Chains A and B, each alone.
Chain A
Amino acid sequence: MRVRQHAADETKVELQMTPMIDVVFQLLIFFLFTFKIRPIEGEIAVSLPPVEAGAARQEEEITPAERVHVRLEAGVGGQLANIVVEDQAIGTDLDALRQLLTAAFPGGPGEDAEVEVDADDQLLYGHVIRVAGVILQSGVKKILFTDRPTRR
């Protein structure tokens, strides 16, 4: 008897755990399903001058020494077939392109150094970005894209 009375006196306050755990698991499942690892994107920042609609491309006043013309020729299936730096064909050797660009700007490319990328219509964009990465690595800040490929 004594024991039972003692138990009745102890009014136990119990926290209701079940609803909280329910909500916690709901949240957990929501975050699990919406979880997605996205690769970090890189960017190639390009600055292109705006043009008036319909107007011909205006030639800016720059000395030829500061602009290098890089032509990218497309091969079968839009693959990169040939790189022509100014008039020198170097095949698809990106290291050669890097060396030529370094040689084209003695003393390092300055703020005004530009590389004009002239890619064929059929060339896949991935190859253009690969070349643009190499150009940026050589220290050139400005990349231009020509409005239409020059035909040879």
Chain B
Amino acid sequence: MRFRSGHIAVCETEMTPMIDMAFQLISFFMFVMNFSTELVQEEVELPVSQLASPVLTSKEEPIVLNLDADGTVFLPGQTINIADPNGLARLNSYLHQEAALARLRLKARGLPPDTPLPSTVIVRADRATPFELVRILLRACREAGFSNYSLRAQTQPQNQQGG
């Protein structure tokens, strides 16, 4: 009796529940993860407005402009400051480029060239930006020919103290 039991007893860890849990966790994190396609600058502290409508659908042809409190705009591949004329010129050339592309896309769809551009300019400005800079930014966008704007705001103020 002593012999037999000593031979057969194999100590095995139960792996199945642990693997179950691990897969549950992985699937949870996979689903809550958002691979956002918008060029979002996390440092920008958005203004707070409970009355802003939540963004549910992604915009058609979005152009994201992140504006910092001191006038820094983060364009793809370059960082400029619109408070200085040189930076503003570069912003203008970027916007005109985007507008020209949007017009080409309209042309490709067979629409008349005087159709308003369908692109939406997403303005993510810091809440501490003087309005003058926002005005300069909007003016540049309007001169490029854009007419749809989405001013981003936080709907909940809980992050107001943070950062």
A residues in contact (CB < 8 Å) with B: 3, 7, 17, 20-21, 24-25, 27-28, 31-32, 34-35, 38-53, 78, 119-126, 128-130, 132-134, 136-137, 145, 147-148
Contact = CB atoms under 8 A, between A and B. Distances in A.
A147 B148 contact: no
B30 interface: yes
B130 A126 contact: no
Nearest to A122: B130
Given A42-B154, A124-B131, 20 more contacts: A3-B7, A17-B15, A21-B15, A24-B19, A31-B30, A38-B34, A39-B155, A40-B55, A44-B52, A46-B150, A47-B147, A47-B148, A48-B142, A48-B147, A50-B145, A119-B131, A124-B128, A126-B128, A129-B49, A136-B51
Given A28-B29, A147-B139, A42 B152 contact: yes
A133 B50 contact: yes
A40 B131 contact: no
B127 to A, nearest CB: 3
A8 B64 CA distance: 69
Contacts of B132: 121-122
A49 B142 contact: yes
Majority secondary structure, A binding face: mixed
Contacts of B22: 21, 24-25, 28
A128 B129 CA distance: 10
B134 A128 contact: yes
Interface in B107-145: 116-117, 122, 125-132, 134-135, 138-139, 141-145
Interface string B145-163: 1111111111110110000
Contacts of B11: none
B78 interface: no
Given A42-B53, A121-B131, A125-B134, A132 B151 contact: yes
A44 to B, nearest CB: 4
B101 interface: no
Given A40-B54, A41-B155, A124 B150 contact: no
B51 A48 contact: no
19 contacts: A3-B7, A17-B15, A21-B15, A31-B30, A39-B155, A39-B159, A40-B55, A40-B155, A43-B55, A46-B149, A50-B117, A121-B132, A123-B130, A123-B131, A124-B127, A125-B130, A130-B47, A130-B48, A133-B49
